[in-house]
Structure 1
């Protein structure tokens, strides 16, 4: 049986709002972030409408918090969520937690030059490259295909882009160009992708850079 994957990103965090690079470090969800995952969970419950599924998520704090909210809407006990390390966000290694790309480029112009020369294969100091992420996401996606059925996946911006790119057979450049929404999620089914917008209630927020 073919697999259907509902792919969600965690809600906005305080570091998303300020433009800080998270990698595998963590920051809590903002009020807007909580509203985003609440809306996504409510919308997803309508799509599933009693269909059986498994729920799996990255074990980082922001995805645990997001998955917990989504699970309530889906009637899933938090203890029943599967946590998979392969779904963790790309780590920037020494640069996890840096205030933004400008800070890296200003302090480490040699690293910026290396990244710009080969963005896909550039590996951050003590971190990962996009290829590294693809290498760990590929077997996860293959397992979903082999199992068939419906999978609800709560993960991260880069991880989700890489997974979508793999599923759709996109080039590296096309994968980089994909969006990373927090007010929508994606359904991967029958070799195609559908973007599902969610209605997020108005919430006080500041301008975000990422």
Structure 2
């Protein structure tokens, strides 16, 4: 059966803005992040226009908050949202919450060398590798294909890149090069991908830029 997947990332968080590495730790959405998700939900509602769908999301706090806003736009009760552990963001293990890649590489240069030598298979201390993420996302994607219909998925930057790479049959290098927008989402359909930009309130964008 054919499936259509709308793949959304959570809105900007306070740690996104500060450049911290979140992993599976959490930080709240900023005002811009709330506006991004609101715009995505509004755009998605106009695209679906009454079409039946399933809404599934990562159970982390920032995706719960984002999925709740999307659900309101789509007319879905909170209790109807499916929370799937396989959609959690990659965990950096001991380094979840670290203050940026630059700080991490300065503090652990030997680990940075190991990661740069094989970035796809590098597993963070007590954490995951990109391959680990692919291994848990692959069956989720297969289940969507088998079920057919429309699936609205609210997840994370790395998870979404890995899922898009799997869907499109990309190489590891091509998957790493994919974007991770918070002011747009992607539609995966018939073996192709379309980026759908959203109109975030100009007043919020202007305040953020100041």
What is the TM-score of this pair, normalised by structure 1? 0.97
Identify the residue that residue 83 of structure 2 maps to in structure 1. Answer: 83
Counterparts of 1:48-59 in structure 2 under 5 Å? 48-59=48-59
- Report how far residue 144 of structure 1 moved: 0.1
Structure 2 gap ranges (5+): none
Identify the residue that residue 163 of structure 2 maps to in structure 1. Answer: 163
Tell me the distance in 1 between the aligned counterparts of 2:193 and 2:155.
17
Tell me the distance in 2 between the aligned counterparts of 1:72 and 1:180.
24
**Deviation above 6 Å: which 4+ runs of structure 1?**
none
Q: Does 1:13 align with 2:13?
A: yes
Aligned residues: 207
Aligned partners of 1:183 and 1:197 also within 8 Å = yes
Tell me the distance in 2 between the aligned counterparts of 1:191 and 1:102.
37
Deviations 1:72-95 (A, max 9, x none): 000000110000000000000000
Aligned partners of 1:17 and 1:206 also within 8 Å = no
Tell me the distance in 2 between the aligned counterparts of 1:205 and 1:89.
25
Tell me the distance in 2 between the aligned counterparts of 1:147 and 1:135.
20
Identify the residue that residue 181 of structure 1 maps to in structure 2. Answer: 181
Aligned partners of 1:7 and 1:187 also within 8 Å = yes
Counterparts of 1:41-190 in structure 2 under 5 Å? 41-190=41-190
Identify the residue that residue 2 of structure 2 maps to in structure 1. Answer: 2
- Report how far residue 205 of structure 1 moved: 1.7
Tell me the distance in 1 between the aligned counterparts of 2:103 and 2:123.
17
Identify the residue that residue 193 of structure 1 maps to in structure 2. Answer: 193
Deviations 1:94-145 (A, max 9, x none): 0000000011101100100000000000000000000000000000000000
Secondary structure at 1:205 match in 2: helix
Tell me the distance in 1 between the aligned counterparts of 2:128 and 2:75.
35
- Report how far residue 206 of structure 1 moved: 5.3
Query: Do the aligned partners of residues 75 and 179 (structure 1) sit closer, same or farther apart at CA in structure 2, a change above 3 Å counting?
Result: same
Secondary structure at 2:208 match in 1: coil
Identify the residue that residue 208 of structure 2 maps to in structure 1. Answer: 205
- Report how far residue 185 of structure 1 moved: 0.2
Tell me the distance in 2 between the aligned counterparts of 1:194 and 1:101.
30
Secondary structure at 2:173 match in 1: helix
